[in-house]
Structure formats: structure tokens, C-alpha cells
Amino acid sequence: MNPLSQKLTDKYEIILASSSPRRFEILTEQMGFDNIKVMKPSFEEDLDKSLYVKRPSDYVQDTCKEKAKSILQELTPGSKSKLVLCADTIVVDHTDEIYEKPVEKEIQLRNLLRFTQSGKPMRVITAVTIIIYNTPQEYSFDSFYEQTEVYFDSNIPRSIVEMYVESGDGLQVAGGFKVQGFSGCLIKKVNGDYYNVVGLPLNGTWKRLCTLI
């Protein structure tokens, strides 16, 4: 563990409020934490998108805050303060349509064909909420979001997109693709924080955490 992650771990119980293995990897492999507790938010992620027309970053920030609130109810005071990291990721197209986690291959294929054929970048927006918790009466919320453009390759044949969907990968993840898996082959370039596409803005989150030491 690097000295700064060690200092944070000495001061706080670090909790990742997400069941995403990718976010866990960013905290452990990139930021160098160990002893992270994982908690799954109970919020259903069912905010009414029609209330957020043309405001996708508000939608993802509100979802993230609701997830954070649902974790807050599960916390109990301990010997150390708790540092809870919560995140939510959506994919948005140039019309501001919001793409979340497809649960069916048909929807995933339709999305990915749109992405590869659009000729325009998709935007991946990840909202992050950091809670510092001492007691049910004494806690603070800090929130931010980050956006990364993802340019899918319009020269990738439909047959390769179909092959990818058929593999079963990319279901249940934002947008229906994992930039860090085979679907990375379909992506020509990113513009922004790559780890934001994976699920957590690395540089932005790290800088916030460093202010908490």
C-alpha cells in the first residue's frame, strides 16, 4: 500500500458502496488500498428519466446520491470514521438519451449498433459521492461527476458486434460494454479519464481523497 492510501486507511474505515468488481479493482490495483469493505446500495436506480430530459448529469448525480443515502441507513458508528465511496455510471448519446445496464441481448445489440454506427462520440458520465460518517447525526456528503467521450469505431463490421453480444459479456454493465474487455476492440479512442469509463474517475477521486487526510 502506498503511504497516502495507508494514511487514509489509518484514519478511516474505507467502504466501497458498489458491487462493481471494476470499481473494487480501481481502488485496490490503481489506488493501492487493501482492507476495503464492500456494501451494496439498496436503491433500485429507478428515478424517472422523463424528469431529466437534456439533464443526464443531474440524473446520474441524483441516482448516486440516492444510492449513498441507502447506504447511510446501514451504517453504525465504530471506532474509526467511515469513508464511503459511492458511484453511478451512465452512457449518453449525442441526443442526451440515457443508456443504463441492458439486461437482454437484443437491447445490448441495438445499443452497440447505434454506438458503432452513430459516427459521434458517446459520453460516459460517472457521478461520485463520498460520505464521511461518524454517527447518524454527524456525517458529510461530497459529490462530483466526470464525463469522458468514447468514440466507437464505425469500421467495425456488424458481425463482430453480434459476436460480442453473443458471448454474453457486457450485460448488466452501463451501456452494455466493458472498455477493459473485448469490447475495447470496438473503441477507436477515448477523450477524458479512461477509468471514468471503467466506472470511477481515477485522478478526480484520488485528488478528493487526498484532501481528507
Q: Which residues bind a second copy (CB under 8 A)?
A: 2-4, 29-32, 148, 153, 155-156, 160, 163-164, 167, 179-182, 184-195, 202-203, 206-207, 210
88 is catalytic: yes
Phi-psi region of 31 (alpha: psi -120 to 50; beta: other; left: phi over 0): alpha
Count Cβ atoms below 10 Å from residue 43 Cβ, excluding itself. 19
Tell me the backbone φ, ψ of residue 43, rounded to 5 degrees: -65, 140
> 8: which residues sit within 8 A by CB, 6+ positions away?
14, 33, 83, 209, 212, 213
Taking the complex as a whole, the smallest distance from the CB of residue 177 to a second copy amounts, in Å, to 12
Q: Which of 46, 88, 96, 153 is catalytic?
A: 88
Taking the complex as a whole, the smallest distance from the CB of residue 11 to a second copy amounts, in Å, to 17
Asked whether the beta carbons of 108 and 175 are under 8 A apart, the reply is: no
Rounded-to-integer distance, Cα 42 and Cα 196, Å:
23
Rounded-to-integer distance, Cα 127 and Cα 57, Å:
8
Closest CB to a second copy among residues 98, 190: 190
The SS3 call for residue 196 is helix
Closest CB to a second copy among residues 67, 123: 123
Asked whether the beta carbons of 19 and 36 are under 8 A apart, the reply is: no
Taking the complex as a whole, the smallest distance from the CB of residue 80 to a second copy amounts, in Å, to 23
Taking the complex as a whole, the smallest distance from the CB of residue 116 to a second copy amounts, in Å, to 11
Closest CB to a second copy among residues 138, 166: 166
Closest CB to a second copy among residues 140, 155: 155
Catalytic residue IDs: 88
